[in-house]
Structure 1
Amino acid sequence: MRIECLGGDDPELAVVGGIHGDEPCGINAVERVLDDPPELDRPVKFIVANEEAIAAGERYLEEDLNRAFPGDPDGPTHESRLAARLTEELDGCLVFSMHSTQSYDGTFALIHEPDARVRPVLKHLSVDAVVDVGSHSDGRLFDAVPTTIEVECGYQGSDQATENASRLLREFLGATGALPQERTPEADSVPLFRLDRQIPKDEASSYAVYASNFEQVAEGEPFAAADDREVTADEPFYPVLMSPYGYETVFGYTAQRLGTVEEFDQLAE
């Protein structure tokens, strides 16, 4: 795990790339900042997390790091031990963690029961949507550090994902006062969702997804297929992280639309 601090000592802000070794966008975004460090008004900790998985070109070595938190310093896997170290390193920080996906070419943020430190930042991120993971936080960084904002930056391995990650990183630094010249106006009408349930997929030789992420699927509408067997919605829902091959056993998630990010404070009451 690589850790570098800019802007002073005792940072309360942290930026993380490389939770998954096969998602280079966050790693590249961190490296860009470290290669040409800006003058920061607040100290920030920059972390490249799973260097061993990155070197191997794999998502992880023994288990998914973002399902291993809070970890165990004496755990049986590399990721379990790394999760414990990362949990300790991020304790007390407002965390910005960058990812990429196989399901969506745009950007969206993931949160879990955000507090007063997290909510104002979301209003200054140029994302297509914000998603509360709800009951699906087990083992994720949220479990160990609730003040975490994860961002999905685009298609895994794409140049655009790196550009998106770099832009969103600077927006995070602007929103938190570390790089005030990068502070953007509050976003207008960004939709807010909450994950509901996973959508299982049967064993098959091929899969297809007809639905578009964040666009409502109507009751009775076919939205995916396993071989020639269509999967039909038994009630209306919004698909999130939906793709044919992004997960081994599920297509993705159903979600409810709660409102907009601008209404977040009212919804949180």
Structure 2
Amino acid sequence: MKTIDRGSAGPARVAIVGGIHGDEPAGERIVRRLADELDAEGDGSSDGIIRLIIANEPALAAGTRYTDTDLNRTFPGDADSDEYERALAPRLAAELEGMDAVLALHTSHSAPPPFAIHSGLTPSVRRTVTGLPVEHVVDASGLRGTTLDSTVPHTVSIEVGRQGSEEAVDFGYEACLSFLRAHGALADEPPTFTPTTVIEGEEEVPKGGGEPHVHYVNFQEIPEGAVFAEDDVYTHRVTESGVVPILASEHGYEEIFGIYGRVTGTLEPPESAVPNREGDITNTAGKRAE
């Protein structure tokens, strides 16, 4: 694990994590670019910090998702484990302790558009999500509890694009700048906040064996009675209206075709909000916004 600290234009302590999965090199490339371009000292007038982390260096070097076990399925981990990623998880969490906002970078084999993921809505998470240039956010609080965003407070994950594409690197870099502006860590231009459609993740869609086929892309509503995905073991036919796929992919995951979700509403930006030191949202009248 490599940690690089840079100065902040504001008081918030924020972090960006790339390279959680070794077969997703875009995150490492984005972090290194940010490290090269951000000022090591910030503006010299705040105690804020921008922490940049490259998480799983051995897996990145090998070009594999992980060395022993999936890092993003092992939190909070075990420092005494013989499995590299299980022992790495608490070390990574320690580097993020006390952060007011964390952004974790990912890519996938599923189709665009990029989207955000959170596992618990805090004022800081609201600020991150609505400050990112994405139209959708997945509420994953009802799914796995062993991911970085489900165990480290104020963490948002972002799927920046298709794995291995230059578009993912370019978009992810711009998304990181938006994240830093949203929390006052970068003052080159004002942040932009927009409402974001919320998709509640409901259940994983299992994969069996043989040749897989996926018939609908991310966030495309699957008609009642239609087949979402199938292989030699499963035929997943949707039995009710309003279901949309998340992380839909034929070959991106060994055990699942993706996740079933449902649009549940819109996450609105904070009103007249500025970030305070704890990463919460306070409006201009001093009242805490929920």
- What TM-score does the superposition give when structure 1 sets the normalisation length? 0.91
Give the % identical residues: 37
Conserved? CA contact 2:199–2:264, under 8 Å: yes
Render the CA deviation track for 1:110-166: whole Å, top value 9, x for unaligned: 001121121122111111311110222321012330310100000011100100110
Q: Which AA in structure 1 matches 2:191?
A: T
Q: Which moved more, 1:95-104 or 1:117-126?
A: 117-126
Residue 4 (structure 1) aligns with: 4
Please list the CA deviations of residues 219-264 of structure 1 after superposition, one character each: whole Å capped at 9, or x if unmatched: 1012222159743211221110111111212111111111112289
CA RMSD of aligned residues (A): 2.3
Q: Given the alignment, which residue of 232, 239, 248 partners 2:237?
A: 232
Alignment of 1:184-263 (within 5 A): 184-187=191-194, 189-204=195-210, 206-227=211-232, 230-236=235-241, 237-262=243-268
How many positions carry a matched residue from both structures? 265
Matched, 1:37 2:38: yes
Contact 2:119 2:141 survives alignment (8 Å): yes
**Separation (CA, whole Å) in 2 of partners of 1:172 and 1:263:** 13
**Corresponding residue for residue 156 of structure 1:** 163
Match of 1:24 in 2: 25
Structure 2 match to 1:69:
75
Q: In 2, are the aligned partners of 1:23 and 1:59 still within 8 Å (CA)?
A: yes
Secondary structure of 2:131's aligned partner? coil
Contact 1:102–1:246 (CA under 8 A) maintained in structure 2: yes
SS at match of 1:72: coil
Please list every run of 5 or more consecutive structure 2 residues that lacks an aligned counterpart in the other structure.
272-288
Shift of 1:29: 0.8
The one-character-per-residue Cα deviations of 1:170-225 (angstroms, maximum 9, x if unpaired) are 000000000022443222x4311110011122322x11111121111121012222
Partner of 1:171: 178
Query: Which residue is equivalent to 2:123?
Result: 116
Structure with the largest fraction of helix? 1
Shift of 1:62: 0.1
Partner of 1:35, secondary structure, is helix
Partner of 1:141: 148
SS at match of 1:81: helix
Please tell me whether residue 13 in structure 1 is matched to residue 24 in structure 2: no
Aligned residue number for residue 131 of structure 1: 138
1:48 pairs, out of 47, 54, 73, with: 54
Q: Matches of 1:243 and 1:34 in 2, distance apart?
A: 32
Q: 1:263 to 1:14 in 2, by over 3 A?
A: closer
* C-alpha separation in 1, matches of 2:233 and 2:70: 31
Provide closer, same or farther for how the CA distance between residues 61 and 211 of structure 1 changes in structure 2, counting only shifts above 3 A: same
Aligned-partner Cα distance in 2 for 1:182–1:64: 37
Per the normalisation by structure 2, the TM-score is 0.85
Whether the aligned pair in 2 keeps the contact of 1:171 and 1:183 (CA below 8 Å) is: no
2:102 is the counterpart of 1:102: no
